[in-house]
Amino acid sequence: MTTDPSRRQRIEVLFDQCSDLPLPQRGRFLEVAVAGDIALRREVEALLASAERADSTGRLERIVAAAFDLPRAPLGKPRPGDRYELREKLGGGGMGTVYQANDRQAGGTVALKFLSESLAGDPVLKRRFQREAQAAAALDHVNIGAIHGVEETEDGRLFIVMPYYEGGTLKNLIAQGPLPVAEAVGCAAQVADGLAHAHAAGVIHRDIKPANLMFAADRSLKILDFGIAKIAGEKLTRTGLVLGTLAYMSPEQAAGGTLDHRTDLWALGVVLHEMLAGRPPFSAPSIELLFHAVRRGEPPKVRSLRPEVPTEVEAVVSRLLEKEPGRRYPDAASVAAALRA
């Protein structure tokens, strides 16, 4: 079976998203997500049916690789060579898996992000991984997670070498309750600074959320995981491919529309709202209703949930969460300036 790489990529993303949903919600999610593409829906449903019969370990890698005739390495830890000693798995996503490691040559702890085993044999996606890593590596800013380099394992898997940040994620901090107003505003300003730098280089993140924002030891905030970044002007993914986490997606991203830097400004507005109120502005009991809320619903005013928030801060949140991109701030630098005014 052979499939166009962009379509294969879309199938894998939809499969991964459906796998995270309760069974009763999957059908409604697919109905909205495939937008009438019956063949696409059937392919995703076939993979889901296979997944139910498969062992859960390495499920996505094995099923997708088999379905698309992709070569794959044996399951198990990657082999990054003598320089790096893997310690523990930190997490993973559609494009790769992250490990904490000891750098024997330079000394100290680093994080290594490996290209997924199921994708390692696909030359198109391998080049995409390299380009995205190179784009992110070129972003030298205090509020963007650094990339030390891109290397390759003995069996041909690419991996990114990054600093290991010990301060925890913003998601973990918010889980303890709403942040003090000054701290929330300061965090948002740091994210805006990092985004301004990335956008000036033509890089859109497209997945800004608390889990992708991590504190360094000095409490500076780092934007992580440009793994689904879209380099402006470069068609690395098919138009309409829905990526990212729905609660933080802009209306245009949820609709599968064309994106620019203002989609990141919307997501920053969602994050700032969550820091102040303790929850995102949009929630719903089903994926379909959440799609509708993001695209059509009005977010609650922050001061209705937390009256001590200054009106000036509420105004920043409201402008970031404008449905029409043209009504948001023109750029991230303007957001940072408004937050520091």
Asked whether 135 and 232 are in contact (CB, 8 A), the reply is: no
Q: Which helix (H) or strand (E) holds 325?
A: none
Within a 13 Å sphere around the CA of 173, how many CA atoms are in the beta-carbon half?
23
Closest CA to 226 of 198, 263, 248: 198
CB 340 within 8 A of CB 316: no
User: How many other C-beta atoms can be found within 10 angstroms of the C-beta atom of residue 226?
Assistant: 25
Nearest CA to 48 out of 75, 22, 15, 77 is that of 15
The owner of tokens 């830097």 is 261
Question: How many CA atoms are closer than 13 Å to the CA of 52, on its beta-carbon side?
Answer: 8
- Measured from the Cβ of residue 339, the count of other Cβ atoms closer than 10 Å reads 22
Name the residues annotated as catalytic: 207
Q: What angle do CA 245, 318, 247 make, to 5 degrees?
A: 15
What's the half-sphere exposure (Cβ side, CA atoms, 13 Å) at 38? 0
Residue 322 parent element (H or E): none
